[in-house]
Amino acid sequence: MPRFDLSPADLRAYRPEVAEPLDFDEFWRATLAESRALAEAPRLTRVDAGLATVEVYDVEFSGFGGDPVGGWFIVPAGAAASAPLPTVVEFNGYGGGRGLPHERLAWASAGYAHFFMDTRGQGSAWGTGGTTPDPHGTGPSAPGFMTRGILDPATYYYRRVFTDAVLAIDAVRSFAQVDADRVSVCGGSQGGGIAIAAAGLADGLVGAMPDVPFLCHFERAVGLTERDPYQEIVRYLAVHRDAAATVFETLSYFDGVNLAARATAPALFSVAMMDPVCPPSTVFAARNRWGAGAVGGAGATDAAGAVAAPVADIVEYAFNEHEGGAGAHWPRQAAWLAERLGG
């Protein structure tokens, strides 16, 4: 596909105004507090996955509303006898599930503890499946997940998913093999959008690596791309013609641009400059606002001692569509994260 978005120079400077609700921070504070109050201790069950160089655990932790959420926790063999490990929490692409352990070996093979979160209600569109249900009903919606509960932020599907992501970090920090002060997040496409949300809502991360992220700058994406999943919103609004203002008000609570502004950890983004699924301008919109609202914690300080926004590096894949860097991108992430950790 030829380039269809802004020029590379304009993308690098793109900082659009994105609507942000006045109660954005209170909405998320209350949402997380309610689910944390219902959380139980996570359960780890060692499983034999036929792998000699890693140990695999089937995990169940409490997500949104206390709902059980699954995941794979994979560590280098013998990790229990070593010092706690730096840890990567990873989120999945749209429609996929956590799959099977042998599909998730890169981070553990590099010496990290790795947690891969199942995405509630998904796991039946591609890959090797998921196991986490989404027990919450919503009103009328278009097929897919993008419009489930979309008329109210309290019922919107991604309120549950983003809460799961933050509580996954909480859970992982309690594991004996994990260094709770050296946790990072990553994911591609939908997983990249969830990683942005986690970085904006969880404290104390050492890094975030959103890869060709989805769920950013909804109003532009919905009007720019002809591809799903954003087109699910278009189809919904083509039927519910008077609902646009309400829909975009709901989406503003979940927009990666607003969540990115609250991040305090450094980031490594990737963007594909011919991406018709997650248009480049929507990725740059989030990257260029990264940490803009940071007021302390992991935020660096400038020469005058004022808090500065955390670094947000970005890798551009000039001739790729939504696959971005694919397998070529992970070595860049590994090198970047090792540098953040002083390795």
Q: Which two tokens stand for residue 178?
A: 């994990």
Which sequence positions are flagged as catalytic? 189, 275, 322
Provide the 8-state DSSP code for 301: B
CB 342 within 8 A of CB 295: no
Please give the radius of gyration of the chain, using alpha carbons only, rounded to the nearest integer. Answer: 19
Mention every residue, 6+ apart, whose C-beta is less than 8 A from residue 212: 188, 189, 192, 270, 271, 272, 275, 277, 278, 283, 322, 324
Q: What is the spatial order of strands in the sheet that 113-117 belongs to?
A: 43-47, 54-62, 68-76, 113-117, 85-91, 178-188, 207-211, 267-272, 312-317
Give CA–CA dist 133/39, Å, rounded. 17
Q: Measuring CA to CA, which residue among 106, 100, 111 is closest to residue 58?
A: 100
Give CA–CA dist 322/8, Å, rounded. 17
CA 289 to chain centre: 16
Three-state SS for 115-167 is: EEECCCCCCCCCCCCCCCCCCCCCCCCCCCCCCCCCCCCCCCHHHHHHHHHHH
CB 85 within 8 A of CB 112: yes
CB 71 within 8 A of CB 117: yes
Q: Give burial (CB, 10 Å; 0-12/13-18/19+) of 241.
A: exposed
